[in-house]
């Protein structure tokens, strides 16, 4: 039975070419420093999964956001663990993505033929920071509220456009229910979609060019 199913699927998908194209590829000798990119992706997936669980109970309104988080922490079975992983995963993701970028910089892996991979990588880094920035407001506690207040204030100092950016971010001159609503939308739909698309491109390029080798005196 299993064999028939496998054969049927293989005919349509082609496991062999998948295997040779994706898995059985030659790579130069890699070190532990080369694992940071996949670690970033793992963290993104983990954030996605825990984030989906959190949205089941989370309510993005100033009246209920704080209480819904308290309920996740106290009332939901293993809610504290899911939120704990999401909370610390965010911190770790920023850190891992940043160190990944430093490694690529110091080994000059961004040079020909991987320039485009670097550009997309910068996009990924900024999207990660954006995830952190928008996610920070969602618990609607003192720390979140005031961090977002100063964060958007800094964006508001841009000459000429400052006022517009500030109002666009906050949805008005002050932090309000609108701010929370649009940060929530950005956090769970807009930025993750951009991030996932960029990640797909990034991965495609990494597979196409292979990982760069560790530079020696020759290079």
Residues 154-193 that bind another protein (CB under 8 A): 154, 157-159, 162, 174-175
Least separation in angstroms between residue 1's CB and another protein is 28
d(CA 51, CA 192): 11
How many other β-carbons are positioned within 10 Å of the β-carbon of residue 99? 14
Contact with another protein (CB under 8 A): which of 48, 130, 151, 171? 151
Q: Which is nearer to another protein, 146 or 204 (CB)?
A: 146
Contact call for residue 133 and another protein (CB under 8 A): yes
Chain-centroid distance, C-alpha 85:
14
Least separation in angstroms between residue 4's CB and another protein is 26
Least separation in angstroms between residue 188's CB and another protein is 18
Contact call for residue 15 and another protein (CB under 8 A): no
The DSSP letter of residue 140 is -
| Stretch of residues binding another protein (CB under 8 A), selected from 7-15, 39-47, 185-193, 196-204 | 39-47
Contact call for residue 43 and another protein (CB under 8 A): yes
Q: Could you say which residues in the range 52-71 bind another protein, by CB under 8 A?
A: 62-63, 66, 70
d(CA 62, CA 192): 23
Q: Could you say which residues in the range 74-103 bind another protein, by CB under 8 A?
A: 74, 80-81, 83-85, 87-89, 91-92, 94-96, 98, 102
d(CA 39, CA 19): 22
Question: With the C-alpha atoms ordered 160, 157, 101, 138, is the resulting torsion angle positive or negative?
Answer: negative
Q: Which is nearer to another protein, 4 or 32 (CB)?
A: 32
Q: What's the burial of 11, exposed, middle or buried (CB within 10 Å: 0-12/13-18/19+)?
A: exposed
Q: Say how many residues touch another protein, by CB under 8 A.
A: 85
Residue 99 neighbours by CB under 8 Å, 6+ apart: 36
Least separation in angstroms between residue 184's CB and another protein is 14
d(CA 101, CA 95): 10
């Amino acid at each position: 039975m299993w064999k028939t199913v496998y054969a049927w699927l293989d005919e349509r998908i082609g496991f062999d070419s998948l295997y040779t194209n994706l898995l059985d590829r030659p790579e130069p000798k890699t070190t532990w420093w080369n694992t940071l990119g996949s670690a970033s992706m793992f963290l993104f997936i983990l954030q996605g999964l825990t984030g989906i669980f959190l949205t089941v109970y989370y309510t993005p309104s100033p009246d209920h956001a704080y209480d819904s988080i308290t309920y996740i922490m106290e009332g939901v079975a293993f809610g504290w663990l899911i939120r704990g992983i999401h909370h610390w995963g965010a911190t770790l993701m920023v850190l891992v993505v940043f160190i990944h970028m430093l490694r690529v910089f110091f080994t000059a892996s961004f040079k020909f033929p991987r320039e485009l991979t670097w550009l997309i990588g910068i996009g990924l880094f900024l999207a990660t920071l954006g995830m952190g920035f928008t996610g920070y407001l969602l618990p609607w506690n003192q720390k979140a509220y005031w961090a977002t207040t100063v964060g958007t204030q800094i964006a508001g100092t841009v000459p000429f456009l400052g006022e517009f950016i500030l109002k666009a971010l906050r949805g008005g001159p002050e932090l309000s229910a609108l701010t929370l609503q649009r940060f929530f939308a950005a956090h769970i739909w807009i930025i993750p979609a951009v991030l996932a698309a960029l990640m797909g491109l990034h991965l495609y390029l990494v597979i196409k060019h292979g990982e760069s080798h560790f530079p020696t005196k020759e290079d």
